[in-house]
Every structure is written in C-alpha cells, then in structure tokens.
Amino acid sequence: MRRFSIAALAAVTLGAALSTGPAHAGPARAGAADPGTAHAGTAAPAHGIANCAAGICHFDVPPGTYDVKVLLGGDTASSTRITGETRRALLPESAAPAGERVARSFTVDVRTPEGEPTGPAGTAGLDLVIGGSAPALADIRVTPARHSRQIFLVGDSTVCDQPGDPYAGWGQHLPQYLRKGLSVANHADSGESTVTYRQDPRLWATVEPLVRPGDLVLIQLAHNDKTTDGVTYRANLEALVDGVRAKGGEPVLVTPIVRRWFNSDGTLDNNTALLVNGLGVDHPAVIRSVAADRLVPLIDLTAKTKAVVESLGTEASKALYLTNEKRDNTHTSVHGATVYAALVRDELLAQHLVPRGLVRAE
C-alpha cells in the first residue's frame, strides 16, 4: 500500500461536503466473495476519499474481506471514531493533535445480509460512518485483504449486530479492538438456539463453508435453549465443534453473558441470571463440560460478566443493560456491549488465540 502524502491531503469533517467519485470492485478474501463478482489475482485500485461525503463513506465493493487504512486529523485538534455496516464499532475514538495526522487501520467483513443473517439485506458494498467528538478524516484507502484471519461469531441476540439503537451485541463491538489482519464475521442472529442455528440454512449451513484453516469460530448459544434437553444441547454443541474442526478452523466455546437478575443479598440469581432452563439444564456447566472433554478453548463469559455485574451492584449495573430504557435485563446497551467485548478480547489474548500485535489494548 502506498504512503500517504500529508501535504496533499485536506481534512474532512462531518459537516464537509465532498464530491463522490465512482468506486471499483476488487477481489475479496478467497472463499468469502461472490464468485461472479470477484476474481483472485485481479489488480484493484485503491478506494479513496472521493467516496466520502458529509461524514459517510461508501465503497462499491463485492462481499469479502477488506483492509481499511485511514489518516485522521486536521488543522485543529480532533477525535474520531469509525462505525460501519450495521452499527459495527470498527475503530475506537482516536485523537490527533492540531495540524498532525494519525494513521490507523483495520480489516472489515463485507457480506449480504450485512447484519443479522435472517435480517434485511442492507445496502450493497461497504458503508463507513465517521463520528466522534471532533471528527476529522484526512484520507482513506480500502483494498482487498490478502492475508487476514477471521473470527466467526455463532450466537444469539446478545452477540449479534443489532440493527437499532439502543440495542447492541458484544460481537458488534468486538471489531474495534482488532487491528488490520484480523476481522470479525458476525453471524450471530436474534432468537437462535443450538437447535435452530443448526436447522436454518441461512445460519450454520452458510457459516461452515466459509471457515478456513486458522480461523476462529466463537460459539455462544444458550439464551434461547429454554426447552432444549441436556442431551440434545450437548450434542448440538459437539456437532458445531466437529464442523469447525473439519474445516481446519479452531472452535472456541463461550458461556453466555448473565442476565441482570439479583437476589436480595446482591448476588445474581442462580437460575434465571445464570441460565439454567426449565428442564434443569445448566447451560454454562454443559458448555464447560464439552470444552473440557473435547479439548476446546473456553471463554467463560458467564463467570466474567457475573463478576462485573455483582461488583457494580443493583444500581450501577443497570448501565450495562437496557434496564432503564426497555426494562430489559438480558440485552446490553452500547456501554455494556463494549465492556463485554473487552472481556472477550482479554481472553483471546490471555489464551494466545490471537497474536498480541493484532489487538488494540484500548
């Protein structure tokens, strides 16, 4: 990728109006693109700032995986964050001193549907929103990712790319913690259990063929397994693990985030909050057992979110969920999703599942 010429760049802020030029489709990550629109080895021009206007950048690219490099900053001090597609957090708030430029990069998954797999198609191509407390974009380049790994997410509404505010899934906020070379393909979907995720052709049957050697597949399904018996629940988890391994990927089992449901003594309820269903199936316990028996890495998000919620207490923990907005103690706010995504990031690092150089510390 060429170097940016700072002297030739003009800062673009949210209020600026830019002329929009055409974008040209380039090749995408092998195995992830529509074979009718992308061809491996085809030379592709960089997609630049001519595709941005009034704080929104649109790139007419086919489904695939793309590297995005931005140059942030302007004449005055700035602070910029980037979201994209269906409200995905792709770059955290990044400061640039007055008159200086700061380079940042990330890798993004572009697909149809762009959000939940059973949801609306969304807009074609890649859409990025330039936001922040004082946003300034000096330049941007979008090119096909040549050497990237993906983190696939298999999950429910607490993980998915939620389409509307104030809802947010932790998978929706995980990308902001990753650098160029590692992207998140969030195939989590609202309302899914281990049973329905395997049955719906838009879900597991779509994800499995995309997995490549070296990819991670994080699996968090439990919230909607309210009527799934223990034998079936375990068998479904094992089938997902075996499917990932058959493709050369690495499965990672994730216990579900807790529900914010307190006992009178300030601890979380052992059944509702910790996801024991009406049949007496202790979902986190089954997940831990499968992980141990099948030698699968485990992210015990139940234990970690329990510790966070109980440490905050009954009042402060409301900010993590939609308690005040929706009387909802299951689904997370943007703040909660960001906090829980950081817990996942920390475990990915602690268990050496991803290289430290591909992860943002903050």
Q: Which two tokens stand for residue 135?
A: 């946003």
How would you classify the pairing of strands 64-72 and 250-254? Answer: unpaired
**Together in a domain, 270 and 283:** yes
**Together in a domain, 142 and 238:** no
Q: For residue range 286-297, what is the model confidence (pLDDT) as tens digits?
A: 999 999 999 999
Residues forming a β-bridge with 58: 127
* Among candidate residues 146, 161, 179, the one where a domain is terminated: 146
* Among candidate residues 85, 116, 146, the one where a domain is terminated: 146
Residues forming a β-bridge with 151: 184, 216
Which pLDDT band, with edges at 50, 70 and 90, does 28 fall under? very low
Q: Is residue 178 part of a domain?
A: yes
Nearest CA to 103 among 238, 2, 254, 239?
2
Q: Is residue 10 part of a domain?
A: no
The helix/strand/coil state of 50 is helix
Q: For residue range 54-107, what is the model confidence (pLDDT) as tens digits?
A: 999 999 999 999 999 999 999 999 999 999 999 999 999 999 999 999 999 999
Nearest CA to 337 among 161, 87, 170, 165?
170
Q: Is residue 123 part of a domain?
A: yes
- Alpha-carbon distance of 345 to 354, in angstroms, equals 9
Exposure on the CB side of residue 127, measured as CA atoms within 13 A: 12
Q: Are 219 and 250 in contact (CB under 8 A)?
A: no
**Together in a domain, 221 and 297:** yes
Residues forming a β-bridge with 107: 67
Q: How many other C-beta atoms can be found within 10 angstroms of the C-beta atom of residue 309? A: 26
pTM summary value? 0.88
Q: For residue range 96-152, what is the model confidence (pLDDT) as tens digits?
A: 999 999 999 999 999 999 999 999 999 999 999 999 999 999 999 999 998 889 999
Peptide bond preceding 113: is omega within 30 degrees of 0, i.e. cis? yes
**Together in a domain, 324 and 211:** yes
The CATH number that applies at residue 132 is 2.60.120.260
Number of domains in the chain: 2
